[in-house]
Amino acid sequence: MTLTVLMNAGPWLSVPPPGYGGIENVIATLVPELRRLGVRVVLASVESSTLPVDERIAVFPDGQFAALQRPYNQVCGVSQAHLAGVVRALHARDDVDLVHDHVEAVGLATLAAMGPDAPPVLHTLHWDLAKHPELYGNLDGGDRVRVNGVSASQLARAPRALREHSVGHVHLSTPLAVDADRRPAVAKGEHAVILGRINPGKGQDLGARLAHRVGFPLVLAGPVGPYHRPEDLAAAGDEARQNPDVRFFHEQVAPYVDGDLVRWVGTVAGQERDDLVASARVSLFPLRWEEPGGTAVVESLSLGTPVVATARGCLPELIEHGRTGLLTTDEEELGELVLAGGLLEAGECRREAAERFTPARMAERYVELYDRVRRGAARPLQLA
């Protein structure tokens, strides 16, 4: 019997996303593999999504991401309108075997409130679970609603009620991991790279300060709030500083960006992104938060670039210290590790990625979880 899954991607960005879009990228990577395994996928997204699927549901014509810059009272109806469309569809049909939901907070709350006649739900937690304590701390989805994390460390810190609904974790994957061990080696440059949103949790300020202290070239790639190119940020003027990430960049990072030793190149995509990471001596993750999943980490391994990082969040699960990267709890030591990390073997990183972080591996694991959720056999994690 064919399994039909309603994949709820939400209203914020099309799938695949036009540029930056962590969750939408995960869905774009997962869905083709699920379909290869024989799963029928109904995608709930926006009309402009182009990902090949079996059926689509959409309330909005295009991604609503830009609306997130508006005040709460103007934006709070967006995800609700999308979820109302999903609920209408679920009431109108009886062929959906399971909903795989990726919509933060509203998806979980709405689908849990639907009651026992609704299909089983697996809600993937892509986020920092310290958020929404009132929602997560009081969750009651019975046997019908289950959650999964994107790392064990993320779930370990989750409120008890959320952990009681958990069927475990599934690490993130990347198409770059496919045959990563068979790709020819790439010539390495001198630079380290930090790939990610410019944000205090990602620690670009620390990385840039260490680059100057230790003396290694550093490339910062990623958006600053909604600004993807340095010229757009420069043109935005002072009003842009209302965005906390813009303020963080101007106050904490920009003083170290001299355009020579430390450069901010804006968002990079496609081949340009891959070349930048593949040619880097290491990828640096000077984290100040508990990184929940770390797509950029598994991408770096796939591209043969060792990872130097603060030992926080999922990093110790993804990186083997001394083989595929170097981890430390000492922020200052990170600088010296950038130099030492360049001596690790690119081939080890690529082999690890090809074995552990392919989309096929992720999809197989999700099919297992779909089965457990549907059988209602999901056991809660061992709680402390």
What type of residue is 54? D
Shortest Å, Cβ 21 to ligand UDP: 8
User: Nearest distance from residue 243's CB to ligand UDP, in Å?
Assistant: 15
Question: Quick check: 119 binds ligand UDP (CB under 6 A)?
Answer: no
Q: By CB under 6 A, name the one of 49, 79, 154, 295 that touches ligand UDP.
A: 295
Give the nearest distance from C-beta 99 to ligand UDP in angstroms: 22
Interface mask toward ligand UDP for 169-208; x: CB under 6 A = --------------------------xxx-----------
Query: Where does 165-212 have alpha helices with state H?
Result: 204-210
Q: Which of residues 208-227 bind ligand UDP (CB under 6 A)?
A: 221-222
Task: Give the one residue of 269, 332, 377, 380 binding ligand UDP; rule: CB under 6 A.
Answer: 269
**Which of 288, 309, 199 is closest to 298 using CA atoms?**
309
DSSP bridge pairs for 58: 45
Q: By CB under 6 A, what part of segment 19-38 binds ligand UDP?
A: 20, 22, 25
**Number of residues engaging ligand UDP in binding (CB under 6 A):** 17
Provide CB contacts within 8 A for 138, sequence distance 6+.
161
CA separation for the pair 213, 331 (Å, rounded)? 13
Residue 384 and residue 382: Cα distance in Å, rounded?
7
Q: Give the residue among 206, 185, 173, 182 at the shortest CA–CA distance from 308.
A: 206
Estimate to the nearest angstrom the gap between the alpha carbon of 125 and the chain centroid. Answer: 10
- The least distance separating ligand UDP from the CB of residue 258, rounded to whole angstroms, comes to 20
CB 155 within 8 A of CB 166: yes
Question: Would you say 96 or 287 has its CB closer to ligand UDP?
Answer: 287
Query: Of the two residues 6 and 280, which places its CB atom closer to ligand UDP in the complex?
Result: 280
Binding of ligand UDP at residue 273 (CB under 6 A)? yes
SS3 233: helix
The two tokens of residue 315 are 């990093």
Q: What's the rounded Cα separation, in Å, for the pair 310 and 312?
A: 6
268 is a contact residue toward ligand UDP (CB under 6 A): yes
Instruction: Give the one residue of 110, 148, 204, 267 binding ligand UDP; rule: CB under 6 A.
Output: 267
**Residue ranges binding ligand UDP (CB under 6 A):** 20, 22, 25, 195-197, 221-222, 267-269, 273, 293-296, 299
